[in-house]
Amino acid sequence: MISFEVPAGVANVSKLVHGLAMGVMRKWARWADDHEHERCEEWVNTMWSLSKGGMMGSMTGGLSRKKKEDKPKEEGEKKKEVRYQNLIMAAAVEELSWGDAGLYLAMPFMGLGGAAVAAAGTEAQREKFLKRFTTADKPVWGAMAITEPGAGSDTAAISATAELDPKTKEWILNGEKIFVTQGKSSVEDSEGFVVAWASRDRKAGRAGIKSFVVEHHTPGMKVTKVEHKLGIRASDTASIVFEDCRVPYENVLGDPEVKEGFKGAMATFDATRPMVAASAIGIGRAALERCQELYEKNGGKLRYGINPNRLTSAERDLMMMESQVRVSRLLTWKAAWMADAGIHNNLEASVSKAKTGKAITWVTNKAVELLGPVGYSKQELLEKWLRDAKINDIFEGTGQINTLVVARRIFGLGSKELR
């Protein structure tokens, strides 16, 4: 028998985080959007205290990778009891983004940098770099630096370099990274780190790319710009320059001697793309619920189960919005569950990200449209949710790139065969 019931542990986390989103995040959502580049200290301190107290442990304990000797299972293969780390995190991210996506991204958290360490790092690296997110005295952030002025979706075009100094056994990084989420917080404002992608051998293409953990305040790493953005304005997005930046030999993620570093780095996205999708779902759900609330407040009533030809235009729109949110959640939860079960989820992770980014952008746009002048004004948060939603179709691989990944997996083709 197929059951769509949410595991009790996941439901409990959702309920807990929803209370936090309602009681704290919604209160600061508009202020944070209007005061870009100003940190909401109450929110940061609240989340840091919860993290250190263990209440948000699932947020830093998720995105775990299998041990190196574990072989990815295929769906249907006999599996051990599943620990719902990724599914719990997806549920928590949805609720946090229902509260406010910008504040969620700005919370002291390991971020994509920590996710990269969890997915591709050794056990020693996980212990060294991730432990600080629950033990440090002050808030800590992590970031990942991939995008460059000349290399966005095409990671093979990365021009940042990493050369090994044979005398000191240090990596020397040179290059520029842009659009680094929480880059300033990780580099200048905390004892955090940035995971930077760089090439050890430009001629080798993707095979030459490795990821390196660069600690906060490392000489040669400098924040040069903090972006002004359309949405998620509570979160800082920075440009970072590496100029003869020396990194310890052991800070290259994974085994330095393994040449296939790019595959390990890309494994990060199999874990994080469902989380980006979950964030989008939270935004879309917020917009949908507010539209439904205002529709009913003004005398409307959704008539489920009747002939579609008898529905009003508003009813059809609201029901389609609801179906898009629910479909997106099921796809996302499947990808997260597969990661928890040790099943290879590269296809499902990209499916959830591609579908959700497009669907929730439509949902929030439709919400603003349905409410008209009210939706377009700052009287409601709907216009903000529309601005916040769009980024989910862009970062962590654009919708077009994730669609391309899906096509490659379905047809069994490589990047050289299908571009």
Catalytic residue among 315, 348, 383, 396: 396
Give yes or no: 315 in active site: no
How many CB atoms lie under 10 A from the CB of residue 177? 27
Looking at residue 419, what is its pLDDT?
A: 81
pLDDT tens, residue by residue, 279-303: 999 999 999 999 999 999 999 999 9
Per the model's pLDDT, the better-predicted residue between 271 and 36 turns out to be 36
pLDDT tens, residue by residue, 148-184: 998 877 777 899 999 999 999 999 999 999 999 999 9
Which DSSP string do the residues of 284-303 spell out, in sequence order? HHHHHHHHHHHHHHTT----
- The dotted CATH code for 8-134 is 1.10.540
pLDDT tens, residue by residue, 47-63: 998 876 555 544 444 44
Looking at residue 76, what is its pLDDT?
A: 54
pLDDT tens, residue by residue, 103-158: 999 999 888 899 899 888 999 999 999 999 888 999 999 999 999 998 877 777 89
Looking at residue 70, what is its pLDDT?
A: 46
In whole angstroms, what is the distance from residue 58 CA to residue 197 CA?
27
Per the model's pLDDT, the better-predicted residue between 414 and 232 turns out to be 232
Q: Check pLDDT > 70 for residue 82.
A: no
Any bridge partners for residue 172, and if so which?
163, 246
Domain segments of the chain as ranges: 8-134, 142-259, 262-411
Looking at residue 355, what is its pLDDT?
A: 97
- For a pLDDT cut of 70, what percent of the chain falls above it? 90
pLDDT tens, residue by residue, 217-254: 999 999 999 999 999 999 999 999 999 999 999 999 98
pLDDT band at 74 (very low <50, low <70, confident <90, very high): low
Q: What is the fold of 142-259? A: Butyryl-CoA Dehydrogenase, subunit A; domain 2 (2.40.110)
pLDDT tens, residue by residue, 385-401: 999 999 999 998 899 99
In whole angstroms, what is the distance from residue 277 CA to residue 92 CA?
12
Mean pLDDT of the chain: 90
Q: The CATH number of 262-411 is which of 3.30.160.40, 3.30.230.70, 3.40.630.90, 1.20.140.10?
A: 1.20.140.10
Q: Check pLDDT > 60 for residue 64.
A: no
